[in-house]
A and B are shown apart, each in its own frame.
Chain A
Amino acid sequence: MTQENATVPVLPPKAPSHGPLAWAKANLFNGWFNTILTLLLLWLAVRLVPGILEWALADAVWSGEADACRADGAGACWAFVAEKARFILFGTYPFEEHWRPILAMLVVVAMLLASADRRLWGRPLLLIWPAGLGIAGLLMFGGVLGMTYVETTYWGGLPLTLTLSIIGLAFAFPLGVLLALGRTGNLPVVKALSVAYIEIIRGVPLISVLFMASVMFPLFLPQGVSIDKLLRAQLGFILFAAAYLAEVVRGGLQAIPKGQFEAADALGLSYWQKVRLIVLPQALALVIPPLVNTFIGFFKDTSLVIIIGLFDLLSSTKAALTDPAWRGFYKEAYLFVGLIYFAFCYAMSRYSQYLERDLAKGRRR
């Protein structure tokens, strides 16, 4: 039992080899198959990368008119992006008022960054968000404080994409949680309704929900009553996303052991206390990867609103490409918006990885 009469010596762990050469040997040239793969990829990189860099940087046209881009040997036409950037980013929002969506987006991004900090979770955020969204909405709509009123039909570009996705997911998420609780609970009527809702919505494409919201729905409204098109699309989007989120959350709920519910019951917690304090914190932490997967998917799916004539980021890019003076610069335009989409999606993905690690600290069973 004691150290002194131990017969087996305690050995230090075998020292690993260090340095880039050792690393390359262990990871790139371990065996003939990996060696061939490494050499093949090196050859491909040598063939492709210089050409891409030449096109994107060395030969690129950074400013000027379309003619400069059409000259022989000209590379990427960033002049087009520079010329159209404001139209791509803000669509048909009045040109002189662009400072308003910029400010609104800054407010929203600041709130997103604040929400990323777990120490602020809870009451502070519940106060910040309504206030912040109110300010952003005020900036976008205007009509007060000397700002001209801008109808939602003129909204476009990145602010529209962010509105649809952030408001959409902010409302769809709690609705999805309620649906998941309804589906896993033991109230028969609520359960049947939740199942029916989820299955019907999941059985229908998003495009048709948006189409219903924009074309069919107004037909059922009484004469003279009209609901804003953006609001209708937003509602369609919320109702659709909620069904998908509900199934993700249900996965987490079902992974919580029965003993957790019993312990909460035995302590006298009410149903909603049990859900809020015991069940959801554990269930949601378990489903962060599929949850963020769904968030990212829906962020990009907002681009489907093009079919009902809303000018989100992708639609305004397409519109920019129809300018006769600047025909044909598809690659540059789509690379530009692609980078914007990527920035948001990659940020979400990295944050979810951080959150997963942070929540797992000290909680391994």
Chain B
Amino acid sequence: MEEPIIQLQGVNKWYGEFHVLRGVDLDVAKGERIVICGPSGSGKSTLIRCINRLEEHQAGTIRVHGVELTNNLKNIDAVRRDVGMVFQQFNLFPHLTVLENCTLAPIWVKKTPKAEAEAQALRYLERVRIPEQAHKYPGQLSGGQQQRVAIARSLCMNPSVMLFDEPTSALDPEMVKEVLDVMIDLAEGGMTMLVVTHEMGFAKSVADRVIFMDRGEIVEQAAPEEFFTNPKSERTRTFLGQILNH
């Protein structure tokens, strides 16, 4: 079997006294699509933010493509180049146009020639279905459009893994679908994805594996049919009961 693209072993993290990640083990295979859910404060966002070192873990090892994340800046840069991230609040750069948002990192980090970076950016904007907005500023777009630009911006670095941190939680309800459609399209293209979300419909239709986290631990993980029809732990059942019956 091929080596996992992401390997987490015994990852622990504390915020002061608060033990936010408790010995998390996780292997992600290439092309695998994982949905992580759990109550707020369960450490799911912190977990994926450790994978590109936006947060530092304090014990255990995290490897991406065999590169271990330590204080070594070279390693951190290498991992960040290879791992794209989409945020709940989009975090587009408001002083740059949509196109400039997408070409900035390729031009400065990967030293891609400008014309090539722009052509590539337009291809990805096409893929997220907003090529016509390329010369607008983020502030002129709707939330759903902004999030799709954010996805395109990440794709422009040609990452082998994409992390999504509650990508639809800050959107108005009518815009959730347009973003999920883009994510489904991405999943069907074979992208390795880790998605923190409460969109259980997305989990059912797209995920290879659903992970339930609570109080800093992975409580249960299974394929979606198994996970939703036959959850093993009491905590998972309670959680599913709360989010599915409202």
Q: B-contacting residues of A (Cβ < 8 Å)? A: 257, 259-260, 262-263, 265-270, 273, 277-278, 281-282, 285, 359, 362-365
Contact = CB atoms under 8 A, between A and B. Distances in A.
Lowest 4 CB-CB distances: which A-B pairs, in order?
Answer: A263-B91, A259-B91, A267-B105, A268-B80
A266 B88 CA distance: 14
Nearest to B156: A267
B185 interface: no
Interface in B73-100: 77, 80-81, 83-85, 87, 89, 91-95
Contacts of B93: 260, 263, 278, 282
Interface stretch (B16-24, B136-144, B190-198): B136-144
A364 B136 CA distance: 12
A267 B153 contact: yes
A280 to B, nearest CB: 10
Given A266-B85, A267-B109, A363-B95, 11 more contacts: A259-B89, A260-B91, A266-B52, A266-B83, A266-B87, A267-B157, A268-B77, A269-B108, A269-B109, A270-B77, A362-B136
- Residue from the set B84, B95, B104, B136 with the largest chain A CB neighbour count within 10 Å: B95
23 contacts: A262-B54, A263-B87, A263-B91, A263-B92, A263-B93, A265-B52, A265-B54, A265-B80, A266-B54, A267-B80, A267-B154, A268-B77, A268-B105, A268-B157, A273-B108, A273-B109, A277-B108, A281-B95, A285-B95, A362-B137, A362-B140, A363-B139, A365-B94
Contacts of B154: 266-267
A263 B137 CA distance: 17
Nearest to B81: A268
A269 B105 contact: yes
The residue among A260, A262, A281 with the most chain B CB atoms within 10 A of its own CB is: A262
Contacts, number: 68
A290 B124 CA distance: 40
Contacts of A365: 94, 139
A282 B95 contact: yes
B137 A363 contact: yes
Contact of A259 (B80, B87, B136, B139): B87
Interface string B20-57: 00000000000000000000000000000000111000
Contacts of B85: 263, 266
A267 B54 contact: no
Nearest to B55: A262
Contacts of B140: 362
A268 B109 contact: yes
Interface residues of B, number: 27
Nearest to A281: B95
A254 B104 CA distance: 23
A79 B80 CA distance: 72
Contacts of A282: 93-95
Nearest to A362: B137
Nearest to A274: B108
A281 B100 CA distance: 14
Contacts of B91: 257, 259-260, 262-263
B178 to A, nearest CB: 19
A262 B87 contact: yes
Contacts of B104: 267, 269, 277
Contacts of B157: 267-268
A179 B96 CA distance: 26
A174 to B, nearest CB: 20
A144 to B, nearest CB: 42
Interface string B48-75: 0000111000000000000000000000
Nearest to B107: A277
A257 B88 CA distance: 14
Most B CB within 10 A of own CB, among A265, A270, A278: A265
A235 B53 CA distance: 42
A260 B83 CA distance: 17
Contacts of A362: 136-137, 139-140
Contacts of B77: 268, 270
Nearest to B54: A262
Contacts of A270: 77, 109
Nearest to A273: B108
Nearest to A258: B91
A259 to B, nearest CB: 4
Contacts of B52: 265-266
A307 B29 CA distance: 74
Contact of B94 (A262, A267, A268, A363): A363
Nearest to B94: A363
